[in-house]
A and B are shown apart, each in its own frame.
Chain A
């Protein structure tokens, strides 16, 4: 079973920041938080990951709370192409690993 909880759906206006929350209250000290997204009929796409520090790349920012029990993915200037299902996953980077997907958040960017 997935170890994360996400809202089923969210809406955001084009050009605004999209903030996607994720709860992972049972995360252990050596588990990373990963975010993937899946645009309709395509394979999931890696966005960003982090352990405890906030992370930023060309796609998004990841804010992890100090207690690591939740995180927020931020798309700073959402475009229509960001409409997708976003998955938050916790994962240990050690040995053979697999991604355990939950239901994800269906993000719709509105014009």
Chain B
């Protein structure tokens, strides 16, 4: 049973560019959450998607946007990249209430130069 799959694993972008990260949830899960993890810090919640709608959002600017597709997969888009956006981006899938736990992918390491 495949867990959460994220692509790409690593990415280098130039300041000002745009990036799209992708996530396929664990089989049976219908909710996808995205987290940003800066070096040495705990993951920070970006937003959560359920039924193709954004259900919750953390304290991130509008440059961060997302989408969920009918097959529950999701994308995270970041526009106008800043050096400070360099981080590990984690996708977690679950049922909406998280009652059976969240399954995380291995993340995408984004470096902005």
Contact = CB atoms under 8 A, between A and B. Distances in A.
Contact of B42 (A34, A95, A102): A102
B101 A43 contact: no
B41 A95 contact: no
Interface in B35-58: 35, 41-45, 48, 50, 55-56, 58
Contacts of A91: 98
Interface string A81-100: 00001010001011111111
Chain A interface mostly: loop
Chain B's interface size range is 20 to 34
Chain A's interface size range is 20 to 34
B78 interface: no
Kindly list the 3 A-B residue pairs having the minimum CB-CB distance in the complex, ordered from nearest.
Answer: A43-B104, A101-B42, A46-B101
Given A46-B101, A97-B98, A98-B33, A103 B58 contact: no
A101 B33 CA distance: 14
A2 B42 CA distance: 10
Interface in A20-69: 34, 36, 41-46, 49
Residue of A44, A85, A98, A103 contacting most chain B CB atoms (<10 Å): A98
B43 A98 contact: no
Interface of B: 4, 31, 33, 35, 41-45, 48, 50, 55-56, 58, 88, 90, 92, 96-99, 101-107
Contacts of A2: 42
Nearest to B4: A43
A43 B105 CA distance: 5
A100 B45 contact: yes
A25 to B, nearest CB: 19
A43 B90 contact: yes
23 contacts: A41-B88, A41-B106, A42-B106, A43-B92, A44-B104, A45-B104, A46-B101, A46-B103, A85-B42, A91-B98, A93-B98, A93-B99, A95-B97, A96-B31, A96-B56, A97-B96, A98-B33, A98-B48, A98-B56, A98-B58, A99-B35, A99-B98, A102-B42
